[in-house]
Amino acid sequence: MTGADQQGPAATLAALHAALDRVLHDAPRPPTHVVVRSGGESIELTWSAAVAPPPVPEAAPPAPVEAERQPAASDGHLVRAPLVGTFYAAPEPGAPPFVAVGDLVEAGQQVAIIEAMKLMNPIEADRAGRVTAVLIKNGEGVGYDEPLFELDCDGQG
Amino acid sequence: MFDTVLIANRGEIALRVVRTCRDMGITSVVVHSGVDADSAAAQAADRRINIGPADPRRSYLYAPAVIEAARLTGAQAVHPGYGFLSEDPDFATICAENGLVFVGPAAEVMARLGDKSTARRMMADAGLPVVPGSREPVGTADEAAEVARRIGYPLIVKAVAGGGGRGMAVVRDAGALLPTFRATRASAQAAFGDNRVYMEQYLYGARHIEIQVLADGHGNVVHLGERDCSVQRRHQKLVEESPAPELPPGLADRLAGYAVAGCRAAGYRGAGTFEFLVRGAEAAFIEVNSRIQVEHPVTEMVTGIDIVREQLRIAAGEPLGFDQDRVERRGASVECRINAEDPARDFAPCPGTLTGFRAPGGPFVRVDTHAFPGAQARPEYDSLLAKVVTWGQDRDQALARMRRALGELRVEGPGVHTTAGLLADVLDDPDFCAGRHDTTLLDRRAAS
């Protein structure tokens, strides 16, 4: 942020906070590190690859199998659907999910099921990493190649 | 009528079906491969769903993915377009088993007509003239030699499971018979998974004339007249028109009568095309295409009937809304197929990105295309980029408008060539202009 401060330190700090509010509002996920200075003005934000799951939109589309359902921009590894079908996060209704946010998964570990043509197809992680987001709700339709999970593979791949 | 129809195809025909669905208030779902996510059809549809990668065997030809997409989107019917799964009786059966209406004839009818040898026999039994040839598939070299002795040369060896101009080879003398017979069997096995072939006399210098039929599930059959598709290269059509010019008096009506009789004999339902070879006043049945044809727009232009709409109505169990007396044909219509191919290199496909594309327009011009600036002509798929169709009060006027339209067409991109220039030359060919052309026109032009 640049520009001469005509209003004094308090006004500068307020302006920096307002700018920070705008950036946080527009950011896809919270930063891990924030610096706000007043003298000489500054605002610095840092994001790491390890992130919390993106906020769930309040009104999810009814059957989002179309390409319109775009995941938030991600710098993690995406585990994608190898076929079109219905996504199941757990081995059976009522059972705990195969994986949850924060879990470490191995390459080849089953993370979901996609049902297609009445066949239950096990979906495996193609890389090792920590689950940072589950991008599809249980029971939703998914298209081919649609992102299902986000993994942080730093030091895990 | 259906609420939701899934379109199991891509390119211009997928867009064509989307448009009629919109006209009819039907929700359209287009399946697409990963590389077609931004295609014109996917963008125009009410909904789209990615069913697999670019390789059509894992997407557009992969029935489980198509069926699953229909289930997920609540579609009640599947329109297969042309090519891909459109003439696959197994796919029609799978649709029925999954509670989906296949927009086309019953699977068993499609199977009988798709087996070209069986179709020939069925139509001969129904009283249609057929080209002299083998009644059954020819399995051995001895059988092939025997049939050749009976029907003479030139002859044509055709794959039983062939279609779309693929899986056939002409034999001009006895020396070429066995190598061609074996090669056609091998290529039929590779292309269609079925090595059976049959043999027919080859009518050199014949015209390709076909009849469009519509048959509902209530016993009503009508024809929408004929199309001339004689401008071909390697048995694939490039220019089509309706009506066929300069046919001997009464021949078009006779062919239409054959098609309607054949339709009834086969128990056909839906839109279909009966193809004939015509030489002078002689005509012979060759095959039935049990799907919408690429060249259907010329028939729509002269009849005012939306053939895709009729397909959907028939599939929904509705009776045809008109009888033969109500089918009126006015004027003449011509279609030119703009393919991403290089005529100077034996029509080699020219995939690439279209940096520029401008469709022609103006009075009485229709362009069915999925092309736009930035679109890709993909190497995995058919090279058809656009169909330019014109109408006129007579053939000369339709051709004049086509010359104008081709002059307006712009297709640009690194390495992209099209058939447009060649087609413009054809439109000026004296034989073509006089309606004297036959299927050898392009070969003769190339030779000169």
Q: From the CA of A147, how many Å to the nearest CA of chain B? A: 12
pLDDT band at A21 (very low <50, low <70, confident <90, very high): low
Are B69 and A63 in contact (CB < 8 Å)? no
| Chain A residue numbers touching B50 (CB-CB < 8 A) | 67, 84, 143-146
pLDDT band at A32 (very low <50, low <70, confident <90, very high): low
A83 and A32 assigned to the same domain: no
Are B49 and A84 in contact (CB < 8 Å)? yes
Least confident of A21-30, A80-89, A127-136, B11-20: A21-30
Q: Which amino acid does the sequence have at B317?
A: G
Q: Which residues contact B418 (CB under 8 A, 6 or more apart)?
A: B338, B339, B340, B341, B350, B385, B411
CA distances from A61 to A29, A65, A68, B28, B48 (A): 21, 9, 10, 17, 14
Would an 8 Å CB–CB cutoff place B48 in contact with chain A?
A: yes
Would an 8 Å CB–CB cutoff place A64 in contact with chain B?
A: no
Per-residue DSSP letter, B138: B
The CA-to-CA distance between both ends of chain A, in Å, stands at 38
Lookup: tokens for B185? 């069997």
* Number of other residues whose CB lies within 10 A of the CB of residue A4: 7
Bridge partners of B270, per DSSP, are: B215
| Chain B residue numbers touching A63 (CB-CB < 8 A) | 72-74
A42 and A84 assigned to the same domain: no
Lookup: tokens for B21? 């669905």
A84 and A142 assigned to the same domain: yes
Catalytic residue among B291, B337, B366, B401: B291
Cβ atoms of A123 and A113 within 8 Å: the answer is yes
Q: Which residues contact A127 (CB under 8 A, 6 or more apart)?
A: A77, A79, A107, A151, A153, A156, A157
Indicate the number of domains in chain A.
2
CA distance A94 to A84: 23
When the pLDDT of each residue in chain A is averaged and rounded to a whole number, the result is 75
We find that the CATH architecture of domain B132-201 is 2-Layer Sandwich (3.30)
What is the per-residue pLDDT for B274?
98
CA distance B123 to B262: 6
Residue A59 resides in a domain: no
Residue from B394, B244, B268 nearest B331 by CA: B394
| Chain B residue numbers touching A116 (CB-CB < 8 A) | 64-65, 68
What is the per-residue pLDDT for B161?
87
Average pLDDT of the segment spanning B133-154 = 94
Q: From the CA of B54, how many Å to the nearest CA of chain A? A: 11
What is the per-residue pLDDT for B268?
98
Residue A71 resides in a domain: no
pLDDT band at A34 (very low <50, low <70, confident <90, very high): low
User: Is pLDDT of B368 > 50?
Assistant: yes
The answer for A 68-127 residues in CB contact with B (under 8 A) is 83-86, 116-117
What is the per-residue pLDDT for B267?
97
CA distance A38 to A20: 13
Are B64 and A146 in contact (CB < 8 Å)? no
Would an 8 Å CB–CB cutoff place B236 in contact with chain A?
A: no
Q: Which of B36, B48, B68 to mutate to test the interface with A (most CBs of A within 10 A)?
A: B68
Residue A89 resides in a domain: yes
Residue A62 resides in a domain: no
Are A145 and B53 in contact (CB < 8 Å)? yes
Residue of B nearest to A143 (CA): B50
Least confident of A95-109, A143-157, B111-125, B324-338: A143-157
CA distance B71 to B123: 37
H or E element: which one contains B77?
strand B77-79
Would an 8 Å CB–CB cutoff place B65 in contact with chain A?
A: yes
User: Is pLDDT of B1 > 60?
Assistant: yes
CA distance A39 to A49: 31
Cβ atoms of B15 and B44 within 8 Å: the answer is yes
User: Is pLDDT of B66 > 90?
Assistant: yes
| Chain A residue numbers touching B59 (CB-CB < 8 A) | 144
Q: From the CA of A9, how many Å to the nearest CA of chain B? A: 51
| Chain A residue numbers touching B64 (CB-CB < 8 A) | 116-117
pLDDT band at B166 (very low <50, low <70, confident <90, very high): confident
What is the per-residue pLDDT for B58?
95
Do the domains at B132-201 and B207-447 have one common CATH topology? Answer: no
What is the per-residue pLDDT for A3?
39
Residue A97 resides in a domain: yes
Residue in A65, A116, A117 nearest the CB of B73: A65
Are B68 and A67 in contact (CB < 8 Å)? no
pLDDT in tens, B69-121: 999 999 999 999 999 999 999 999 999 999 999 999 999 999 999 998 899 99
Average pLDDT of the segment spanning B430-447 = 93
Cβ atoms of B372 and B428 within 8 Å: the answer is no
Q: What phi and psi, each to the nearest 5 degrees, are found at residue B278? A: -125, 130
A88 and A130 assigned to the same domain: yes
What is the per-residue pLDDT for B195?
94
Would an 8 Å CB–CB cutoff place A147 in contact with chain B?
A: no
For B207-447, CATH gives 3.30.470.20
Least confident of A13-22, A98-107, B307-316: A13-22
Lookup: tokens for B176? 């070429």
Would an 8 Å CB–CB cutoff place B53 in contact with chain A?
A: yes
Are B68 and A117 in contact (CB < 8 Å)? yes
A84 and A146 assigned to the same domain: yes
pTM of the model: 0.85
CA distance A88 to A109: 15
Residue in B47, B50, B65 nearest the CB of A146: B50
What is the per-residue pLDDT for A38?
67
We find that the CATH architecture of domain B4-103 is 3-Layer(aba) Sandwich (3.40)
Q: What phi and psi, each to the nearest 5 degrees, are found at residue B320? A: -55, 140
Q: From the CA of A141, how many Å to the nearest CA of chain B? A: 6
Residue from B75, B72, B38, B78 nearest B60 by CA: B78
Would an 8 Å CB–CB cutoff place A143 in contact with chain B?
A: yes
A80 and A42 assigned to the same domain: no
Least confident of B1-10, B18-27, B314-323, B437-446: B437-446
Residue in B50, B67, B74 nearest the CB of A143: B50
Are B72 and A66 in contact (CB < 8 Å)? no
CA distance B29 to B26: 10
Residue in A116, A117, A144 nearest the CB of B50: A144
Least confident of A33-47, B88-102, B414-428: A33-47
What is the per-residue pLDDT for B165?
74
Residue of A nearest to B58 (CA): A83
Active site residue B112: no
pLDDT in tens, B388-409: 999 999 999 999 999 999 999 9
Write out the residue range of the structural domain in which residue A118 sits: 76-152
| Chain B residue numbers touching A86 (CB-CB < 8 A) | 72
Domain boundaries, chain B: 4-103, 132-201, 207-447
pLDDT band at B135 (very low <50, low <70, confident <90, very high): confident
User: Is pLDDT of B445 > 80?
Assistant: yes
Average pLDDT of the segment spanning B185-203 = 91
Are B42 and A84 in contact (CB < 8 Å)? no
Q: From the CA of B228, how many Å to the nearest CA of chain A? A: 41
What is the per-residue pLDDT for B83?
94
Average pLDDT of the segment spanning A56-67 = 40
Chains A, B: CB pairs < 8 Å: 52
Q: From the CA of A140, how many Å to the nearest CA of chain B? A: 9
Would an 8 Å CB–CB cutoff place B99 in contact with chain A?
A: no
A134 and A84 assigned to the same domain: yes
Of all residues in chain B, the percent with pLDDT exceeding 90 is 93
Residue from B137, B119, B197 nearest B162 by CA: B197
Residue in B59, B67, B72 nearest the CB of A141: B72
Q: Which of B49, B55, B90, B95 to mutate to test the interface with A (most CBs of A within 10 A)?
A: B49
When the pLDDT of each residue in chain B is averaged and rounded to a whole number, the result is 96
Cβ atoms of B118 and B135 within 8 Å: the answer is no
Q: Which residues contact B425 (CB under 8 A, 6 or more apart)?
A: B445
Would an 8 Å CB–CB cutoff place B164 in contact with chain A?
A: no
